[in-house]
C-alpha cells in the first residue's frame, strides 16, 4: 500500500479508499462477533427448549418465538424454499423430541407418516391428543394430518 502522505492525488485517493475498506472490515468484524454470540445463545435455546411443567400451548408459543428469532439471525440462502423446509422440519423434530413421555402416541403417529408435517400441523395433532379425555391417539383415518395428506387436492 502506498504512503498516505504522498502529494500524488491518485495515490492518495487509492490510499483513502483502501483505508476506508479496512476500517469497515474492522468495524463489521466487531459487530458480527456480537451477533455471533447472540446467534449462539438463540441456537442453544432452540435446541434445549423443553415442555417441562407448562401447558403444551405455552411450550409451543415459546418454541415458535425462538424459531422466529433464529430465522432473523440466520438469514435464508438464495434457495428460500429449501431453507424454510429444513428449518420447519428441525423445529418439528425438536418439538417432538422435547415433549413429555405422555405424548409418545402423538410422536409415533407423526413420525410414522412418510412426510413430516408442518410445525403448526404437528402442534394441532399433539393438542388434539392432549385434549382427548383418555389421552389416547386419534385413529389415523380421522386425523387431520392424515386426511390432508390423503387429499389429492391438498397443497
Q: Is residue 155 part of a domain?
A: no
Question: Do residues 65 and 98 both lie within one domain?
Answer: no
Question: Do residues 117 and 62 both lie within one domain?
Answer: no
Question: Do residues 83 and 125 both lie within one domain?
Answer: yes
DSSP letter string over the chain? ---TT-S-HHHHHHHHHHHHHHHHHHHHHHHHHHHHHHHHHHHHHHHH---TTS-HHHHHHHHHHHHHHHHHHS---S-HHHHHHHHHHHHHHHHHHHS-GGGHHHHHHHHHSSSPPPHHHHHHHHHHHHHSTT-PPPPGGG-HHHHHHH-TT--
Distance from C-alpha of 103 to C-alpha of 55, rounded to nearest angstrom: 12
Question: Do residues 14 and 71 both lie within one domain?
Answer: yes
Residue 40: band (very low, low, confident or very high) from pLDDT cuts 50, 70, 90 = low
Q: Is residue 151 part of a domain?
A: no
Q: Is residue 46 part of a domain?
A: yes
Question: Do residues 19 and 69 both lie within one domain?
Answer: yes
Distance from C-alpha of 21 to C-alpha of 37, rounded to nearest angstrom: 24
Question: Do residues 16 and 71 both lie within one domain?
Answer: yes
Residue 47: band (very low, low, confident or very high) from pLDDT cuts 50, 70, 90 = confident
* Structure-block grid coordinates of residue 31: 459487530
Q: Is 115 left (phi over 0), alpha (psi -120 to 50) or beta?
A: beta
b/e sequence 89-98, b meaning 16+ C-beta within 10 Å: ebbbebbbeb
Question: Do residues 71 and 26 both lie within one domain?
Answer: yes
Residue 53: band (very low, low, confident or very high) from pLDDT cuts 50, 70, 90 = very high
Count the domains in the chain.
2
Is 39 or 129 the better-scoring residue by pLDDT?
129
Name the maximum alpha-carbon separation found in the chain. Answer: 87
Question: Do residues 94 and 127 both lie within one domain?
Answer: yes
Question: Do residues 45 and 97 both lie within one domain?
Answer: no
State residue 112's pLDDT score. Answer: 77
State residue 83's pLDDT score. Answer: 82
Domain range enclosing 24 = 10-75
Q: Is residue 149 part of a domain?
A: no
Question: Do residues 68 and 92 both lie within one domain?
Answer: no
What average pLDDT does the segment 144-155 reach? 45
Q: Is residue 50 part of a domain?
A: yes
Question: Do residues 71 and 111 both lie within one domain?
Answer: no
Q: Is residue 103 part of a domain?
A: yes
What average pLDDT does the chain have?
A: 75
Q: Is residue 108 part of a domain?
A: yes
Which pLDDT tens digit goes with each residue over 72-110? 876 666 888 878 887 888 788 888 888 888 888 888 888
Which pLDDT tens digit goes with each residue over 13-38? 887 777 776 766 665 555 555 665 67
pTM over 0.85: no
Amino acid at each position: 500500500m502506498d504512503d498516505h502522505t504522498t502529494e500524488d492525488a491518485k495515490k492518495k485517493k487509492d490510499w483513502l479508499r483502501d483505508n476506508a475498506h479496512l476500517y469497515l472490515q474492522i468495524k463489521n468484524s466487531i459487530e458480527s462477533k456480537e451477533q455471533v454470540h447472540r446467534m449462539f445463545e438463540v441456537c442453544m435455546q432452540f435446541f434445549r427448549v423443553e415442555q417441562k411443567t407448562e401447558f403444551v400451548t405455552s411450550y409451543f408459543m415459546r418454541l415458535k418465538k425462538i424459531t422466529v428469532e433464529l430465522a432473523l439471525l440466520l438469514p435464508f440462502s438464495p434457495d428460500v424454499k429449501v431453507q424454510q423446509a429444513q428449518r420447519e422440519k428441525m423445529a418439528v423434530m425438536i418439538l417432538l423430541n422435547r415433549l413429555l413421555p405422555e405424548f409418545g402416541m402423538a410422536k409415533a403417529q407423526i413420525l410414522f407418516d412418510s412426510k413430516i408435517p408442518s410445525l403448526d400441523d404437528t402442534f394441532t395433532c399433539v393438542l388434539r391428543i392432549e385434549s382427548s379425555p383418555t389421552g389416547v391417539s386419534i385413529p389415523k383415518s380421522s386425523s387431520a394430518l392424515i386426511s390432508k395428506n390423503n387429499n389429492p387436492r391438498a397443497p
